[in-house]
A and B are shown apart, each in its own frame.
Chain A
Amino acid sequence: MDAKAVEVLAREAGLSRALDKFPDDVAAAAAQAADLARRLGPPADPLAEPWPPMKVGAPR
């Protein structure tokens, strides 16, 4: 992720103050998130649902 993209995303997330005071921390965090996303990928089963599943409460 390039620096401009990081800045846009950080400001959209409301992190202007962090970006101004700690730009290296913000850049490092963005790089880590990008690395995690690269490693993650989809589950083996394309129909796999997330855990925990949606549940409704007991009927009233």
Chain B
Amino acid sequence: MSDPSLLSAVEAARAMAAGKLSPVDLLDAYLARIDRHEAALNVFIALDRDAARTAARAAEAELRAGRRRGPLHGLPIGIKDIVDVAGLRTTCHSRLRLDAPPTIEDAVCVAALRGAGGLVVGKLATHEFAIGGPSFDLPFPPARNPWNRDHHPGGSSSGSGAGLAAGFFPLAVGTDTGGSVRNPASACGVVGLKPTYGLVSRRGVQPLSFTLDHVGPMARTVADCALMLQVMAAHDPADPGSAPAPRVDYARSLESGVRGLRIGVVRHFHDADHVAHPGVAAALDEVVRTLAAEGAQVADIRLPPLARFATVNRVILMAEAFAIHGNDLRERPEGFCQSSRRRMLVGAFVGGADYVQANRQRLELMVAVDAALAEVDVLLCASSMDPPCRIDDAGEVERTYPRQARTPFNVTGHPALAMMSGLSRDGLPLSVQFAGRNFDEATVLRVARAWERASGIDRKRPALAA
């Protein structure tokens, strides 16, 4: 086998199960790539090379003994550093957590991934506490975009997106409160799924906003994302937001195509609410044309304006984030980087009535999205309105950050997936987003897979990872 790190997770798992690939060889291929490119990309807060090697050797011995822990047996996984991994500290990419002791227990989602045979390779860069922007006044540098390291990889699951695109691991855990799984998936040309609120346990994950936080899978292909979700989705009675959803086989209908499915295009998001970059709009049109040619019934559909979703998201997020981080903001505000300090201080000035109004509006927005999804099976809309901007251009980061259509599905809790729609003239990833009915990730993944298969978009890789 030439370079096993170029295999998808599904292909690598199949090869290992068939005895054609060793977990140790697979890990070594990824570590070699990490050794070549990590210094340029800053994906890792902590690379746990020794523990990953020990786990890979154990996985290999188990396979030799005829034991396979589960569908992820031997697959390396990167974990965003706001998610607990036993034996490693959770820094949240913050100076305030540098002295934190190693965590005793895995987060529930990490325990599930390990239980299915996954190997944790390390903790990944994020925006500080999953809210600051790409910052240069933190103890760890910001992750860079493998398609062009001068550009922003998106956030806050920056290391997850950048590491996948660079081919450092085939699977990664991200979190999404205002789009933080889907933003780096969009900027780095990988696949990121924010599951339905409550489908994946948040226990062991540093909270940012109890109402809006989601944990989700990120991968290089849609099938890999489905594979990972299969393991992560489980009811957790100790997470008050967890939902007892029925078990679903997410891979079952992946190859079923879109013939007969009804897809609603939320065009006003990118041609009126925010006017998208022409390249983004053209790539979205291409996705629409392709899915129609594949047999989907495609029609435009309207949702409430993006600004309304964004305002509700901001009010709830800022109020809850201040409730969580208020003590540190009062006692040691100098411990935060400037961008997260500025963002989180907003919560100190959000009135109680405003917080209640936002949650009243949230119910109306949930009803509006449910009504749209009674008319169609899946919504198609923009994710980012612009190609990823330069990471050192603070003005562009600030301008483009809110130009997105991801927050609606944090506010309503519906599942939403972002992936590559094409490349800009400068060779940077552009993106599309699919959203579906609550707990109907299977149909969202099915539509995403139809686009991926028809376009061959998963074969596009940055030169770095070729």
A binds B: yes
Residues of A within 8 A of B358 (CB): 40
A17 within 8 A of B: yes
Task: Say whether A21 faces chain B, with CB atoms less than 8 Å apart.
Answer: yes
A30 contacts B349, C-beta separation under 8 Å: yes
Q: Which of B326-361 contact A (CB under 8 A)?
A: 326, 329-334, 338, 341-351, 354, 356-361
CA gap between A15 and B346 in the complex, in Å: 12
Contacts A43-B361, A48-B364 given: A15-B329 contact, CB under 8 Å?
A: yes
Nearest residue (CB) in B for A37 is B354
Are A17's CB and B362's CB within 8 A? Answer: no
> With contacts A28-B342, A51-B362 known, is A15 near B357, CB below 8 A?
no
Residue-by-residue, is A14-53 near B (CB-CB < 8 Å gives 1, otherwise 0)? 1101100110011011101110110111111100111100
What residues of A have a CB within 8 angstroms of the CB of B360 in the complex?
42-43, 48-51
Q: Which chain A residues lie closer than 8 Å to B282 at the CB level?
A: none
Judge whether A40 and B341 touch: CB under 8 Å: no
- Select which of B312, B329, B347, B350 is within 8 A of A37 by beta carbon: B350
Select B349's contact among A17, A33, A42, A49, beta carbons within 8 Å. Answer: A33
Cross-chain contact A25 with B314 (CB below 8 angstroms): no
Tell whether A18 pairs with B359 under 8 Å between CB atoms, given A37-B350, A37-B351.
no
A3 to B312: give the CA distance in the assembly, Å. 26
B307 near A: Cβ within 8 Å? yes
Residue of A nearest to B342 (CB): A25
A50 touching B364 by the CB < 8 A rule? no
Q: Which of A22, A41, A43 has the most CB of B within 10 A?
A: A43
What B residues does A18 contact at CB under 8 A?
Answer: 329-330, 333, 341, 345
Q: Which of A22, A34, A37, A43 contacts B364 (CB 8 A)?
A: A43
Total number of A-B contacts with CB less than 8 angstroms? 104
Asked if B366 lies at the interface with its beta carbon under 8 angstroms from chain A, I say yes
Q: Is B281 an interface residue (CB 8 A)?
A: no
* Contact among A10, A14, A40, A42 with B311 in the assembled complex (CB-CB below 8 Å): A40
- Report chain A residues within 8 Å CB of B361: 40, 43, 48
State the Cβ distance, B275 to closest chain A Cβ, in Å: 19
B341 touches A25 (CB 8 A): yes
Q: In the assembled complex, which residues on chain B have CB atoms less than 8 Å from the CB atom of A41?
A: 357
Q: Is the CB of B349 within 8 A of A22?
A: no
Knowing A39-B311, A40-B315, A45-B364, the reply to whether A22 touches B333 (Cβ < 8 A) is yes
B341, A22: Cβ atoms under 8 Å?
A: yes
Which chain A positions have C-beta within 8 A of B333?
Answer: 15, 17-18, 21-22, 25
A25 to B338, Cβ gap below 8 A? yes
In the assembled complex, which residues on chain A have CB atoms less than 8 Å from the CB atom of B350? 33, 36-37
Within the assembled complex, what's the spacing in Å between the Cα atoms of A48 and B326? 30
Contact string, B310-325, partner A, CB cutoff 8 A, digits 1/0?
Answer: 0110110010000000
Q: From known contacts A15-B330, A51-B362, infer whether A43 and B357 are also in contact, taking CB-CB under 8 Å.
A: yes
A13 interface contact, C-beta 8 A: yes
Q: Please give, as numbers and ranges, the residues of chain A lying within 8 Å of B356 by CB-CB distance.
A: 50
Q: How far is the CA of A50 from the CA of B352 in the complex (A)?
A: 13
For B318, B345, B358, the residue with the greatest tally of chain A CB atoms inside 10 Å of its CB is B345
Q: Are B342 and A50 in contact (CB under 8 A)?
A: no
Q: Which residue of B lies closest to A51 (CB)?
A: B363
Interface residues of B in 352-388 (CB under 8 A from A): 354, 356-364, 366
With a cutoff of 8 Å between Cβ atoms, the chain A residues found around residue B311 in the complex are: 36, 39-40
Q: Is the CB of B354 within 8 A of A40?
A: yes
Q: Give the distance in Å from the alpha carbon of A51 to the alpha carbon of B360 in the complex.
A: 6
19 A-B contacts, Cβ less than 8 Å apart? A13-B326, A13-B349, A14-B326, A14-B330, A18-B333, A18-B341, A21-B333, A25-B341, A28-B345, A29-B345, A29-B348, A32-B318, A33-B348, A36-B314, A39-B311, A40-B311, A40-B361, A49-B360, A51-B366
- Spell out B's residues near A (CB within 8 Å): 307, 311-312, 314-315, 318, 326, 329-334, 338, 341-351, 354, 356-364, 366
- 9 nearest A-B residue pairs (beta carbon): A33-B349, A29-B345, A50-B359, A51-B363, A18-B333, A14-B330, A13-B348, A43-B360, A29-B346
